[in-house]
Amino acid sequence: MSLLSRKRRLVATLRADRALHDPQWIDAFAEVPRHLFLRRYFVQTGYRWLAVEQGDAGWIDRIYADTVLVTQLDDDPDSWVRARREGPVIGTPTSSSSMPGIMAIMLEELRVTDADRVLEIGTGTGYNAALLCHRLGDSNVSTVDIDSTLIAKARAALAECGYHPYCLLDDGELGCPENAPYDRILGTCAVSRIPPEWLEQTRAGGLVVTTLNRPIGAGLVRITAGHGATGTGRVLARDGRFMPMRAHRLPPIPELPEDEMTEPGQPTSLSVTGLLTPPSRFEFFAGLELPEVCSLHGDGPGITWLAHPDGSWARQIDTSEGFLVWQGGPQRLWDRVEDAHARWLELGQPERSDFGITINRDLQEFWLESPESDLRWPW
């Protein structure tokens, strides 16, 4: 299949999935060659990562599919070389080229006009910066990344495509003050809180689009900047998830009990996987009611854990007769899940797009329906 056909097929996939609508962004995805930004990457095989490079079987097929491609493990620029030399390695992804579908959603939610000046936080491979340059022109695009190896490769790939945005090696949490103010800021890494510098560097009325880094209830937000480090926005209906900014990574998951559960399990009609995963309408509300609680797969089919940094835990097993739960630690996490679900039902089952956010330097909080609502959750 020709390169042109591959790009056209990717665009058709994004349009069919309703991730891409705007003709100018359609043109950008049809023209910018993603493969030039992904000479090599990792493919997961079991619990390990296989190093793939240009020329390997399937290399270009994966690039022009709507899939995330991991490009770095454990913040180690030599991780790919080690995996290529030694075979598949164990590691934690720390940089990637995100799914084109998520990129398309975020770019459209940015609502740019032709003259807008945009700052991208998290250069990564440079592919997203190339899409911005194609749409807005080099002089209107700035991009920043904290990783010197990544930004050097991104600069080279951008130049090979004929794009020359302003590329800065620095901590993206601080923005890029030398080119401020911006009409739009796009965070392509997830944040636990909106850095005040982003709002300060966005003109009043400009937009900040980013993803939330939350163990439960993450997703996309769009914020209209006010004056200084203030803003008001909405949680978006269309979902998207990115790797966290390094300074915003979540704490390690606490150790879970290894002993067999000797006491009888508590029966429940609620399913962790049915309620606390992205497709669920309840998930975002659960994240507000259960801050710091994370959900993770267990060591066997049908087993799911909840964990809190204070050592509290809940373990759910899906049996042929229903769900059973065990819990322990300072908090009874499953009781909190059931209380949150009952409250959600009483509130009319709000979904993520029913929530908004208000931000100033000292306070960031979510609210339901309206900024004047009495239903508020500190962020």
Q: How far, in Å, CA of 46 to CA of 320, rounded?
A: 27
pLDDT at 300 over 70: no
Per-residue pLDDT for 130 more than 90?
Answer: yes
What is the pLDDT confidence band of residue 112, given thresholds at 50, 70 and 90? Answer: very high
Does residue 31 sit in helix, strand or coil?
helix
Whose structure tokens read 């008001």?
A: 232
Measured N-to-C along each axis, helices 100-109 and 127-136 cross at an angle, to the nearest 10 degrees, of 40
Q: Which of 79, 96, 97, 98 is catalytic?
A: 98
- Distance (Å, rounded) from C-alpha 287 to C-alpha 276? 8
Pairing verdict, β 141-145 and 118-121: parallel
Element (H, E) at 210: strand 202-212
pLDDT, tens digit (0-9, with 9 covering 90-100), for 273-294: 888 888 899 999 999 999 989 8
- Specify the pLDDT at position 260: 65
Quick check: is 353 catalytic? no
- Phi/psi of residue 131, each to 5°? -60, -40
pLDDT value of residue 236: 94
Cα–chain-centroid distance for residue 10? 21
Which of 220 and 262 is assigned the larger pLDDT? 220
| pLDDT of 240 higher than 80 | no
Query: What average pLDDT does the structure give for the chain?
Result: 92
Q: Which residue bears the tokens 């250069």?
A: 123
> Tell me, what's the pLDDT at 59?
97
186-219 residue pLDDT tens? 999 899 899 999 999 999 999 999 999 888 888 8
> What pLDDT score does 299 carry?
66
Tell me the mean pLDDT in the region 127-149.
Answer: 97
Nearest to 285 by CA among 339, 224, 363, 329: 339
Q: What does the block give as tokens for 153?
A: 């490769």
Q: Alpha-carbon distance 159 to 18, whole Å?
A: 31
Query: Quick check: 135 pLDDT over 70?
Result: yes
Q: What is the DSSP string of 121-171?
A: E--TTSHHHHHHHHHH-GGGEEEEES-HHHHHHHHHHHHHTT---EEEES-
Specify the residue for token string 């480090």: 229
In the structure, what pLDDT confidence band is assigned to residue 146 with cuts at 50, 70 and 90?
A: very high
Q: Is the pLDDT of residue 44 over 80?
A: yes
Q: What is the predicted pLDDT for the residue at 320?
A: 78
Supply the pLDDT for residue 163.
Answer: 98
Query: What residues pair up with 50 in beta bridges, in sequence order?
Result: 43
Euclidean distance between CA atoms 316 and 324, whole angstroms: 6
